Structures are given as C-alpha cells and as structure tokens.
Structure 1
Amino acid sequence: MSAAHTAGESIIAGLQDALAYAQGDMERGQAHTVCVPDAIDVKAIRERQGLTQADFAKRHGFALNSIRNWEQGRRRPEGPARLLLLIIDREPEAVRRALTG
C-alpha cells in the first residue's frame, strides 16, 4: 500500500468522523475550542520585542495605521490579527521562523 493511499484513507476516515460528530455521534470525534483573549495589549507586546511601531508592523505584516489605531484605543484587533498577536507575544521565535522561511 502506498503512502499516498494510506494518507488518503486517513483523510477520508477523519472526514467521516467529523461528519458523524457534527450529526451528534460524540463517540467519533471531539471538538476543540480556541480561546483568544478579548483584550490584547499591542503596545506591551511590541515593547517587549523592543520594536518601534513601524518595525513591528513591517516584521509581522501589519499595516502601520493598524498598529497605531490599536495602541491608541481607536480600534481593536479582530479575528486572525488577535490570534497572530497572541502568538507573537507567546512564541515570537516561532513567528520569526515561519515568516523568514
């Protein structure tokens, strides 16, 4: 049996388990909840890295205006930005490795 065949079977089995779980069969899967805090202190994260607003934005792919607005309380990071900021804060080296290839 080839590795591709085995991988394909594994993917199909996983999808079947997910479908069964979604239909109420709690024996065939489990749900995972990602908990990202509502409040993210962007300025504190940036300062822990010793970066200016411009450098932080450039390093992590954010718009400079977003950093400014978040830090000044005019806006709040939402969705994926909040998650990325949390990872930047907790695992900055992992983010650096991912972004530098």
Structure 2
Amino acid sequence: MAKGISKAARKALARTNWRRIDAMTDGDIARQIASNRDAAPDMAPEIDVRAIRRATGMTQAEFATAYDFSVRTVQEWERGAKKPSGPARTLLRAIRSDPEGLRKALAAA
C-alpha cells in the first residue's frame, strides 16, 4: 500500500467488499451514478455513428468488418440502444477524421 495514505483510508480499504465491487456490472454502476444527485453528468459529446458510417459510404456490415466492430454493436449504436464508450468513442472520432487512412492502418495491422 502507498505510504502517503491516511489511517482512515487504510481502514476504509480494509472494510471494502472487493468481491461485491468486482461483481458489479456496467449497468449497476450506471444506475448508482444516475441515482446520485451529486454525481456530475456525463459531458461527453454525442457521437452520431450513423452519420460517420454513412460518410464512409459503407453498409453496417462493411463498416463493422472494416473497423472491427460487430454488426450488432453498430446496429445498437445507430438506433440508440447503446452508446459507444471509451476506446470505441476514440476509434469512431478517428474514423470521422480519416476513415480511409484508419481503415488502411487497421488492415495492415
């Protein structure tokens, strides 16, 4: 454990139920955040996956194959059932900026 940690923090860590935390799903975490009035709202700008895909001129299947997504994931993003997060958001922003260059880089990898 880090030396700079306080006694109170050490006690709190010792009492933490890590198995319960490890068992939490993304949905559990999202519900807890939504129910906490003090939690900051998600300020990440929306990503229009359909617009990005259409700009490439690809079908959902072609887009998924070219950028290593599942077709189902692309469909869920486009109809708003799910939102891309983390690395997927970063990849989608890169696709929006240079779709052909990124496709070539991924194909060469």
Q: Tell me the TM-score normalized by structure 2.
A: 0.57
Structure 2, unpaired ranges of 5+ = 1-43
1:7-86 pair list within 5 angstroms: 37-86=44-93
Query: 2:68 and 2:51 mapped to 1: Cα distance?
Result: 18
Pair 1:91-2:94 in alignment: no
1:98 Cα offset (Å): 1.1
Task: Return structure 1 stretches of 4+ with deviation > 3 angstroms.
Answer: none
- What is the rounded CA distance, in whole Å, between the counterparts of 1:47 and 1:93 in structure 2? 13
Equivalent residues, number: 65
Identity of aligned residues (%): 45
Q: Return 5+ residue gaps in structure 1 as ranges.
A: 1-36
CA distance in 2, matches of 1:93, 1:42: 16
Report the aligned-residue RMSD: 1.1
Work out the CA distance in 2 between the residues paired with 1:94 and 1:72: 27
Structure 1 CA distance, aligned partners of 2:96 and 2:48?
10
Aligned twin of 2:17: none
TM-score relative to the length of structure 1: 0.61
